[in-house]
């Protein structure tokens, strides 16, 4: 299992240098674990959202999408169990006064072991941790940290407090809540917006079980973080889908969605061996079965998506707290019941990091005559931020005007980029660096035979095609 920290750092630098991802409010030295997407990052993000949304809603006839508010009635989080159970064991370093999530500290140690080729020891450490976490054995977890000589990265000491539980929800105040306290939470998952709207959507959409409700949106968690870029953020986006089913059919649908989601991941062109399933040992408070889809990031195999069998936990609790019936009448079996739920929950930012990690390549192009290299982002054309660059070879002789007509023909259909500055070689390299799959160059020959050169990012192969075919050829490739 390669743990390639220098590759990870190179991806972070490249993302910043080429307008994908910036530290939030960087002019004020940034805000820990919060990031902004730049001009190409936001295009990539939007394309990934669209790709997921189309797959989930358009290609599954029985799944519809919603867009619920971030703020929800505070009782939502009581009913969902987040107020009482959304805790993580944390430990403080007495010297630096910094607080860490216990599992992150131990996972960090395991990553360090792997980078030294001590994979067996890393596996043993993680299984010890899983066993202790499953039983809430906080003394044992503290002892494990001490026995492993894990130190605070700031103070570099092992002067640790006891392990204690801390809630991960952010709260703020809202004027209109008439409760004693007007404290309100920033949602830690988008799923609850789906549960509280379950009946609204089912009734107005005349939906029959099994059916799904999908949503993309922001979620917030007070993560205690250690340098993991957009892998672990305090403000992030989730793409979630709750699939409502008949009680008793959860095993079958759980397996169905594991397979279906893996199929989606593979459709991104990422090879099978870069993924694995990881079954949860310690189940979240709402689940009767759960697993993660993990991707082999440069920082090792880590979770990108969770698939959870949530039983009727959420709807049942919302029924109890709201005193509103959350039942569904199943006319096929003539019964009323609270549906069970299978959830698929993928982090959008983690998907972006996965796609960037997979796409990033440093290539040596040196020949006997000269040294050369390039950095290229090999994004699938469907999600690439920019699909086509239109480049007049020189800035005169009527070439820019011809290039502009190609731009005008294509730009309503897909995202195009026009540039006339610098040598053509430099312009190709800049397009490689942001992952543009196609460049077309307009040259003197174009004026005589109406052909342009198309250059393919991945192979760097070039060929002549009719100028009036550019739109059709690129549109076919991006699907």
- Residues that bind ligand GAP in the complex, under the rule CB under 6 A: 189, 191, 221, 223, 232-233, 236, 238, 240, 303-306, 343, 345-347, 349-350
For the purposes of burial, counting CB atoms within 10 Å of the CB of 279, is it exposed (0-12), middle (13-18) or buried (19 or more)? exposed
Pick between residue 71 and residue 418 the one whose CB is nearest to ligand GAP: 71
Q: How far apart are CA 66 and CA 62, in angstroms?
A: 13
Q: Which residues contact 260 (CB under 8 A, 6 or more apart)?
A: none
Pick between residue 20 and residue 428 the one whose CB is nearest to ligand GAP: 20
Q: How far apart are CA 239 and CA 349, in angstroms?
A: 10
Q: How far is the CB of 235 from ligand GAP (least distance, A)?
A: 8
Q: How far is the CB of 319 from ligand GAP (least distance, A)?
A: 19
Q: How far is the CB of 222 from ligand GAP (least distance, A)?
A: 9
Residues 218, 185 contacting (CB under 8 angstroms): no
Pick between residue 221 and residue 471 the one whose CB is nearest to ligand GAP: 221
Q: How far is the CB of 233 from ligand GAP (least distance, A)?
A: 4
Q: How far apart are CA 321 and CA 305, in angstroms?
A: 29
Q: How far is the CB of 286 from ligand GAP (least distance, A)?
A: 8
Pick between residue 343 and residue 432 the one whose CB is nearest to ligand GAP: 343
Pick between residue 88 and residue 443 the one whose CB is nearest to ligand GAP: 88
Q: How far is the CB of 101 from ligand GAP (least distance, A)?
A: 10
For residue 176, count other CB atoms closer than 10 A to its CB: 7
Pick between residue 193 and residue 437 the one whose CB is nearest to ligand GAP: 193
Q: How far is the CB of 88 from ligand GAP (least distance, A)?
A: 11
Q: Which residues contact 358 (CB under 8 A, 6 or more apart)?
A: 268, 269, 270, 274, 378
Pick between residue 286 and residue 417 the one whose CB is nearest to ligand GAP: 286
Residues 100, 90 contacting (CB under 8 angstroms): yes
Pick between residue 144 and residue 291 the one whose CB is nearest to ligand GAP: 291
Residues 126, 110 contacting (CB under 8 angstroms): yes
Which is nearest to 172 in space by CA: 183, 156, 181, 162? Answer: 183
Q: Which residues contact 468 (CB under 8 A, 6 or more apart)?
A: 409, 450
Pick between residue 63 and residue 381 the one whose CB is nearest to ligand GAP: 63
Q: How far is the CB of 350 from ligand GAP (least distance, A)?
A: 4
For residue 209, count other CB atoms closer than 10 A to its CB: 19
Pick between residue 32 and residue 155 the one whose CB is nearest to ligand GAP: 32
Q: How far is the CB of 212 from ligand GAP (least distance, A)?
A: 14
Residue number of the CB closest to ligand GAP reads 347
For 157, 159, 161, 401, the CA distances from 96, given in Å and listed in that order, are: 9, 9, 12, 62
How many residues are present in the chain? 479
Q: How far is the CB of 343 from ligand GAP (least distance, A)?
A: 6
Q: How far apart are CA 353 and CA 425, in angstroms?
A: 28
Q: How far apart are CA 430 and CA 424, in angstroms?
A: 10
Cis bond before residue 131 (omega within 30° of 0): no
Which is nearest to 58 in space by CA: 205, 198, 212? Answer: 212
């Amino acid at each position: 299992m390669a743990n390639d920290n220098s590759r990870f750092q190179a991806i972070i630098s490249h993302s910043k240098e080429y307008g994908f991802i910036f530290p939030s409010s960087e002019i004020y030295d940034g805000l820990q674990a919060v990031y902004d997407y730049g001009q190409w990052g936001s295009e990539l993000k939007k394309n990934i959202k669209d790709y997921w949304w189309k797959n989930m809603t358009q290609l599954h006839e029985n799944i519809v999408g919603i867009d619920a508010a971030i703020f929800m009635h505070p009782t939502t989080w009581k009913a969902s169990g987040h107020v009482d159970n959304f805790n993580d064991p944390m430990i403080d370093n007495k010297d630096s006064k910094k607080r860490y999530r216990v599992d992150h500290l131990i996972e960090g140690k395991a990553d360090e072991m792997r980078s030294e080729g001590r994979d067996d020891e890393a596996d043993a450490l993680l299984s010890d941790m899983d066993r202790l976490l499953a039983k809430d054995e906080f003394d044992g977890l503290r002892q494990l940290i001490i026995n492993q000589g894990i130190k605070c990265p700031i103070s570099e000491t092992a002067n640790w407090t006891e392990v204690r539980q801390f809630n991960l929800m952010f709260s703020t105040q809202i004027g209109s809540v008439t409760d004693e306290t007007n404290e309100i939470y920033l949602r830690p998952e988008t799923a609850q917006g789906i549960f509280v709207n379950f009946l609204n959507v089912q009734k107005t959409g005349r939906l029959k079980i099994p059916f799904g409700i999908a949503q993309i949106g922001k979620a917030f968690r007070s993560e205690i973080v250690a340098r993991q870029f957009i892998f672990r953020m305090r403000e992030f986006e989730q793409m979630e889908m709750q699939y409502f089913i008949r009680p008793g059919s959860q095993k079958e649908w759980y397996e169905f969605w594991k397979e279906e989601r893996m199929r989606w991941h593979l459709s991104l062109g990422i090879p099978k061996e870069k993924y694995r399933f990881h079954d949860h040992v310690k189940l979240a408070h709402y689940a009767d079965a759960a697993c993660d889809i993990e991707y082999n990031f440069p920082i090792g195999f880590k979770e990108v998506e969770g698939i959870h069998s949530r039983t009727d936990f959420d709807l049942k609790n919302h029924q109890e707290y709201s005193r509103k019936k959350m039942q569904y009448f199943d006319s096929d079996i003539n019964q009323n019941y609270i549906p069970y739920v299978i959830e698929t929950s993928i982090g959008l930012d983690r998907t972006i990091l996965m796609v960037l990690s997979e796409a990033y390549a440093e290539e040596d192009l040196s020949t006997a005559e000269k040294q050369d290299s390039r950095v290229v982002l090999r994004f699938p054309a469907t999600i690439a931020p920019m699909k086509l660059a239109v480049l007049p070879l020189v800035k005169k002789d009527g070439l820019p005007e011809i290039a502009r007509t190609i731009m005008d023909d294509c730009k309503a259909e897909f995202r195009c980029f026009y540039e006339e500055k610098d040598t053509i070689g430099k312009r190709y390299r800049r397009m490689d660096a942001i992952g543009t799959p196609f460049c077309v160059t307009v040259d003197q020959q174009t004026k005589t035979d109406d052909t342009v050169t198309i250059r393919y990012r991945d192979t760097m192969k070039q060929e002549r095609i009719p100028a009036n075919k550019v739109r059709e050829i690129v549109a076919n490739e991006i699907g």
